[in-house]
Structure 1
Amino acid sequence: MSTIEKIQEEVLVEEAVGANHEIVLHNDDVNTFDHVINTLVRVCKHDDLQAEQCALLVHYKGKCTVKTGSIEELMPQCSALLDAGLSAELI
């Protein structure tokens, strides 16, 4: 005779209200890694490691989501990235 165990997991789902937009950074042949990293730290409040990882993803994959949040929060950050000469879009 075998014993069948039933495991019930409680899964919490948190709806991300207002955090459904993202800033996507695109690769370019103009900006240095240092400039991209420093700009992500300054504008998006990334730590050094996170900014470096994003810069590498952009370089090797062509793009990377660097920030998510509400449209009101992201608009000035995306503008600051663009003002710094980076290729970014808000989606």
Structure 2
Amino acid sequence: MLTPKFQHQPQWQEEFGLDVLVEEEPKNVLVLHNDDHNTFDFVIESLVKVCLHTLEQAEQCTWLVHYKGKCEVKTGSFKFLEPMCTALLDRGLSAEIV
């Protein structure tokens, strides 16, 4: 009986990446909470400066915080999010990493 010889990986292995295992860091989320004393403009400015949002992203997050009470503004490792959370807190915003 003949066995086929592949010159490259079978297509199903390439498509699904079955031969590669990657260990990912746990994902954390930086959550911004609503408050009654910061203006929309200040929150938008803070998200642009601290979280490097585009103006449009910052505006959308600000509206979500206003209407929903909170918004997930950034995801990543704790090490990546911690300085952003601290900077938002230093600006008087209410934020946490979950």
**Structure 2 residue runs without a partner (length 5+):** 1-14
Report which of the two structures shows the higher radius of gyration computed on alpha carbons. 2
Equivalent pairs, count: 80
Q: Does 1:34 align with 2:31?
A: no
Change (3 A) 1:17 1:61: same
Matches of 2:23 and 2:49, distance apart in 1 = 25
Q: Percent identity?
A: 60
Match of 2:78 among 56, 71, 78: 71
Shift of 1:55: 0.1
2:96 aligns with 89
Q: Does 1:45 align with 2:52?
A: yes
Over residues 29-71 of structure 1, what are the superposed CA-to-partner deviations in whole Å (9 max), with x where a residue is unaligned?
0100000000000000000000000000000000000000011
Change (3 A) 1:28 1:16: farther
3-state SS of the aligned residue for 2:53?
coil
TM-score, length basis structure 1: 0.81
Q: Tell whether the 8 Å contact from 1:19 to 1:68 is kept in structure 2 after alignment.
A: no
Shift of 1:19: 5.1
Q: Which moved further from structure 2: 17-26 or 62-71?
A: 17-26
3-state SS of the aligned residue for 1:17?
coil
Matches of 1:35 and 1:87, distance apart in 2 = 13
TM-score, length basis structure 2: 0.76
